[in-house]
Chain A
Amino acid sequence: MKKLIKKYLKNPMLLIFIIILIFFTPMAIYSPGENKIKGVVTAIGIDKIDEEYEVSLLTFIPTANQTYKQQNAVVSGKGKSVTEAIYNAQLSMGRSVGLAHAKTTVVNEQLLNEDVAQIVDHISRISSLPENTVFICTNATAKELLESTTGLETELGLKLEQLIGFNSTNLYAIDTSLESFYKGYFGQTHSSIIGHLSLEEESKEDSKQNEGEDNSENNGESQATQNQKKLTNKGDAVILKRGELVAKLSSEQLNALNLLNSKSIKQIVNIEDVKLDSGIHDLSYRIRNKRVLKSTKFENGYPVFQAQVILGMELTEVKGMNENFKENTEISEMNKEIKEKLNLKLKKQFTDALKILIENKTDIINITEEFFKNDRKAFNKYIKNLNSIDEFISHVNFKVSIIINTD
């Protein structure tokens, strides 16, 4: 024994190494996989019901099968704070909550009547939750929304965050994540924008049909149809000021604001009653490419925002087709009228949407930031005369010119 001790003492590091293995290997042997002790949460929903918070967790349920399909269920818990509600949800789930794979956070519109940053504080403090978690709100309860998504993957092979992700380029903030919400929240004008998903009542026939299919599939899907509400993505968004909801933007209004966002090129513009050789038509155009040249300056001490938007547009639909039109199916060159109409339409849409921002003193298109960045001295001087920095956007003189090309 003495010899053995001496032998190992010659190499004390090896001894420590062996001790570590001896001590910790039994622990390793008895540890079950982490996925067995932690529930893999893929989405979180927060609602407020009678002064209590309800947290719903869309959780992945491992099932011993060879199909590798993801099966989800919604588990919820109530509490006076979000932390307590999550704790209670854990109790009913029988596992601790693993938020590392949570890619979506949904809040109910009602919650947006108070500062939502206070509510999602718990979530933002959990650093295992990725900051790029999608952050959206819904008109129904978050629980209902999550329940309606349980069948999303089996029906459409789609995940909730993918559904939003498709829409994300329509938002001025590029994506609707917790991070971008906080960026706006802590920004100069404390305004942020988040996506909105609606749950709408389905017609009875549709729901019956769905129900029949769902029952044969799995429980998650049948839950979705019991509520008879259907998830619809209209591409809407809501504007938050200091974490509170101040306005809703429709998909069209968002598109209009996106005029100044060179990264967003998915918009469609419809113009009516265009006089062509073949008669009067309604035309649809798609923006194929976009170049935005922006500049800010203080003219006579007043802020002026100039933007030149160069759009490459493509004709996608002509209504009122007739024989005469067929001869020249391609309108290779836009006539002056089309250009004017498109120009007018785009400008009108933009002005309308801008009005909403000005009314609510919410600068989600970062105009204040642009002025601050480009001429900090003049900007600081100017805002001294204002009651608050939030008013700045209403003082800006917008000069937007639009050039439309067909290529």
Chain B
Amino acid sequence: MKQTINIRQCGIILIMCIFANKLLLMPSLLYTNVKADGIFVTAILFLIELAIIPLIFLLKKHFPKQSLYEILKSRTGVIFTKLIYMLLLIFFLFKIILVFSITYVYFKQQIYKDEIIWIALISILPVINHSVANGIRPLARTMEIFFALVLIGFLACLGFSLFTNIELPHMFLSDIQSFFGAMYKHLFSFGDMIFLFLILDKIEIKEGEEKKVYHYAILGFILIIMLYFLYYGKYQVTSFMHNNALADILVFSVQFNAIGRLDIIAMITILFITIFQLEIFSYGFSDCFLHIFPKLNNIYSIIVFDITFLILYYFFLGKYEIMINLTSTWLTVLAVIINVIFPLILFVIYLVKRSKNEETD
């Protein structure tokens, strides 16, 4: 089977990347730092992240059919490339742990008995391994099939939240220092679009299709901003108390509660989104691993991933405070390298290539 994906599937992967880590704990964390200005923090970080998309198109144009590894290797040498891939590997690994621990806490609180939850979550592992083994194409197609379900679930959560009293959240309450502080602190929760660089050679783009990706990016952005807006609008000063944004905006007023609990909609939506994110990151991990150790095959990368994951899982899971702490301390440094410096390096590579092209012309 050819391992290429079309532009629509690329857009859907992009949306899943945009959603990563931002649906549950993030709004509440941002509220404790910058109050409802969290919306602006998210928006600005997203716009910075969005710069990756045109860079991808430029690289694809100037390095047709070349993978990221080949581009980097030819311009910066093997050692530097492997170093970058090593950092990417760590980046994806911790992303997985972060997504996992947040989901763990959510499901533990919501539905599972303490003793069963880790077993249930571990069962996700074979599923993500299976999709990594099958390759990017079935993975993207699976997301494509479930995308409608995810979108409907997400919109249902937003729509149902409108049944309660929602006021305009108070904006501009934070000072500039804490605003930028929050941006730096939560940088690790952004930058998931980096994944698209790894599948650079696998995206099939026909002429004039580029804008479709932007449409998906904007859709993802609007959904996230709407969620934050409705969440802050609904909970106002108590936003810091509610850790599961997408699920919590579904909670109704007293009268509505007679219907029963509709959190199942949020639960299934979150579960699908989480598994897809884990699959994406896990694929990223595997891709990096195979480039660092080119002699090994897919099965090895999966085994290494599982073992590393289980070890980290043991240390971090259920102690998500540690994980949250990590993300705002040294993982932020990693995030700066991956989210800011790495794209800049690629941009420089592109500029050099362009100037060379112009010279030859």
Contacts and interface: CB of A to CB of B under 8 A. Distances in A.
Interface of A: 12-13, 16-17, 20, 24, 27, 34, 100, 103, 124, 127-128, 130-132, 134, 161-162, 164-165, 168, 174-177, 179, 182-183, 186-187, 372-373
Contacts of B126: 13, 16-17, 20
A179 B261 CA distance: 16
B142 interface: no
Contacts of B165: 174
Contacts of A176: 254
A168 B129 CA distance: 51
Contact of B242 (A13, A24, A131, A177): A131
Nearest to A161: B254
Given A103-B257, A165-B254, A373-B170, 19 more contacts: A12-B129, A12-B133, A12-B299, A13-B130, A128-B109, A132-B253, A132-B254, A162-B258, A164-B254, A165-B255, A168-B253, A168-B254, A168-B255, A174-B253, A177-B253, A179-B251, A182-B241, A183-B235, A373-B168
Interface of B: 109-110, 113, 116, 119, 123, 125-126, 129-130, 133, 165, 168, 170, 235-238, 241-244, 248, 251-258, 261, 299
Contacts of B236: 183, 187
Contacts of B299: 12
7 contacts: A12-B299, A100-B261, A132-B251, A164-B254, A176-B254, A177-B253, A183-B237
Chain B interface secondary structure, helix, strand, loop or mixed? helix
Contacts of B237: 182-183, 186-187
A183 to B, nearest CB: 5
Contacts of A186: 237-238
A165 B179 CA distance: 41
A161 B256 CA distance: 11
B250 to A, nearest CB: 10
Contact of B254 (A12, A24, A177, A182): A177
Nearest to A188: B237
Given A13-B133, A183-B238, A20 B123 contact: yes
B275 to A, nearest CB: 14
A101 B125 CA distance: 32
Contacts of A130: 251, 257, 261
A16 B242 contact: no
B238 A179 contact: yes
Contacts of A165: 254-255, 258
A24 B119 contact: yes
A213 B255 CA distance: 31
Contacts of B168: 373
A16 B258 CA distance: 42
Contact of B251 (A17, A20, A131): A131
Nearest to A31: B116
A168 B255 CA distance: 9
Nearest to B126: A16
Contact of B244 (A27, A127, A175): A127
Which residue, of B119, B237, B243, has the highest number of chain A Cβ atoms within 10 A? B237
A186 B170 CA distance: 14
A179 B252 CA distance: 11
Nearest to A18: B126
Nearest to A24: B119
Contact of B110 (A20, A128, A162, A182): A128
A193 B241 CA distance: 19
A132 B257 contact: yes
A130 B243 CA distance: 13
Contact of A175 (B113, B238, B242, B253): B253
Contacts of B255: 165, 168, 175
A124 B235 CA distance: 14
A130 B256 CA distance: 12
Contacts of B258: 162, 165
B254 A175 contact: yes
A134 B254 contact: yes
A132 B110 CA distance: 15
A363 to B, nearest CB: 14
B29 to A, nearest CB: 16
Contacts of A168: 253-255
A161 B251 contact: no
Nearest to A13: B130
B126 to A, nearest CB: 4
Nearest to A28: B116
A127 B109 contact: yes
A161 B255 CA distance: 9
Contacts of A12: 129, 133, 299
A41 to B, nearest CB: 15
Contacts of A127: 109-110, 243-244
A100 B241 CA distance: 17
A368 to B, nearest CB: 12
Nearest to B256: A132
Nearest to B115: A27
A177 to B, nearest CB: 6
A362 B74 CA distance: 70
A270 B113 CA distance: 55
